[in-house]
């Protein structure tokens, strides 16, 4: 299976000295969905801007669809699709007119364009409202229109920068369904960034976890979770605040219980990892009672991507809902180009 995207030692340093991306390496295989999972400020959007020719890198080597990023920018733009965090929809135009405009920007016209627009409107379930002004679409409908617009010219590689941020769970699930269908039925390779654990777990065949501009681990969701090697027990202790006396005492209590493999601290409590963790829960409760510490909650779970993130970064990922102001369509190469 060939690579549609290859990145080697990518570095991006902004003019103020901020190193947004710090020497990352990864590749995306043809036909797969590959993801970057990380919090805001991790370097996800910066990476996508570089890969889609919108931002100059400081150093490193990038190949997109077998083409050199420096020598073939024009050709690359004709063969990739991009959906940015901010929805690029003109509210004064109908859904169909928005898509026709995108097709015109890619030199498409006539029956070829009309047929493609109809096909995509059916795919994202917007045929019934295709002739309504996009200003009256819901947030989820605008996202689906934006996705369809990025596909008009039949791209071979689709870049999605946090495609469901700000959407309600139902709209998010609808977008996931359409993306899975695109990947499986049209064979489109997809590179997406996300801060949502469930999104990465559901959509990505492989993913890299990125934090502070660096990739900390990579693999399939199943491989990454299996690497934890233990179940997770999350504990909340009354009066637990960072590194105060109670938190240290709680750690000491847990360290005295045989079978616990690892103890991790977070802002709201402790997480311990152990094989056959269910058998340890009663013992943990008894040990805390005997020490005079009061548990406000205790829960047991199988390893998740959040546990993987915590293992490799020392903190949990917290998705932030970002609602950006609406903007008029300027073309997918009209903003932020450098």
Residue 76: give its domain's CATH number: 3.40.50.300
d(CA 168, CA 137): 14
H or E element in which residue 95 lies:
helix 95-105
The model's pTM is: 0.84
Q: Is residue 142 part of a domain?
A: yes
pLDDT value at residue 317:
85
pLDDT in tens, 117-171: 999 999 999 999 999 999 999 999 999 999 999 999 999 999 999 999 888 999 9
Three-state secondary structure call for residue 79: helix
pLDDT value at residue 31:
95
Look over the chain and give the mean of its residue pLDDT values, rounded to a whole number: 89
Beta-carbon-side half-sphere exposure of residue 48 (alpha carbons within 13 Å): 27
277 and 239 together in one domain: yes
* Residue numbers of the domain that contains 56: 3-224
Integer angstrom CA distances of residue 24 from 7, 9, 10, 282: 7, 5, 5, 44
Look-up of token digits 């990476």:
47
pLDDT value at residue 267:
67
Q: Looking at the 3D structure of the chain, how many domains does it have?
A: 2
Q: Is the pLDDT of residue 1 over 60?
A: no
199 and 171 together in one domain: yes
Q: DSSP secondary structure string, 203-257?
A: H-SEEEEEETTEEEEEE-HHHHHHTT-SEEEEEEETT--TTSHHHHHHHHHHHTS
pLDDT in tens, 216-275: 999 999 999 999 888 999 888 887 655 456 778 888 999 999 999 888 887 668 888 998
220 and 240 together in one domain: no
Tell me the CATH number at 284. 3.30.70.100
Q: Is the pLDDT of residue 292 over 70?
A: yes
113 and 242 together in one domain: no
CB burial string 30-65: b at 16+ within 10 A, e below: eebbbbbbbbeebbbbbbbbbbbbbbebeebebbbb
Q: Is residue 74 part of a domain?
A: yes
Q: Decide if 11 contacts 58 (C-beta within 8 A).
A: yes
254 and 175 together in one domain: no
78 and 155 together in one domain: yes
Q: Is the pLDDT of residue 311 over 80?
A: yes
């Amino acid at each position: 299976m060939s690579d549609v995207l290859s990145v080697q030692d990518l570095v991006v340093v902004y003019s103020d000295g901020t190193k947004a991306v710090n020497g990352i390496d990864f590749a995306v295989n043809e036909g797969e969905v590959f993801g970057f999972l990380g919090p805001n400020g991790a370097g996800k959007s910066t990476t996508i801007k570089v890969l889609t020719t919108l931002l100059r890198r400081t150093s490193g080597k990038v190949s997109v669809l077998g083409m050199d990023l420096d020598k073939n920018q024009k050709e690359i733009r004709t063969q990739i699709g991009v959906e940015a965090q901010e929805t690029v929809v003109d509210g004064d135009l109908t859904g169909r007119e928005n898509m026709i405009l995108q097709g015109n920007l890619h030199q498409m016209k006539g029956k070829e364009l009309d047929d493609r627009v109809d096909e995509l409107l059916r795919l994202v379930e917007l045929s019934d409202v295709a002739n309504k002004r996009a200003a009256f679409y819901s947030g989820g409908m605008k996202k689906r229109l934006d996705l369809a617009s990025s596909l008009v010219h039949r791209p071979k590689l689709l870049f999605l920068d946090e495609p469901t941020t700000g959407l309600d769970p139902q709209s998010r699930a609808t977008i996931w369904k359409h993306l899975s269908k695109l990947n499986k039925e049209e064979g489109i390779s997809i590179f997406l960034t996300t801060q949502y654990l469930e999104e990465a777990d559901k959509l990505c065949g492989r993913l890299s976890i990125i934090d502070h501009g660096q990739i900390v681990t990579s693999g399939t969701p199943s491989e990454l979770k299996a690497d934890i090697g233990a179940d997770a027990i999350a504990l909340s202790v009354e009066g637990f605040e960072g590194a105060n006396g109670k938190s240290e005492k709680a750690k000491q209590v847990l360290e005295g219980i045989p079978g616990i493999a690892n103890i991790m601290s977070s802002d709201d409590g402790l997480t311990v990892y152990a094989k056959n963790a269910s058998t340890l829960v009663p013992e943990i409760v008894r040990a805390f009672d005997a020490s005079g510490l009061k548990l406000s909650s205790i829960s047991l779970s199988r390893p998740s991507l959040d546990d993987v993130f915590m293992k490799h970064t020392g903190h949990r990922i917290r998705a932030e809902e970002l609602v950006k102001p609406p903007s008029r369509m300027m073309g997918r190469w009209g903003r932020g180009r450098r």
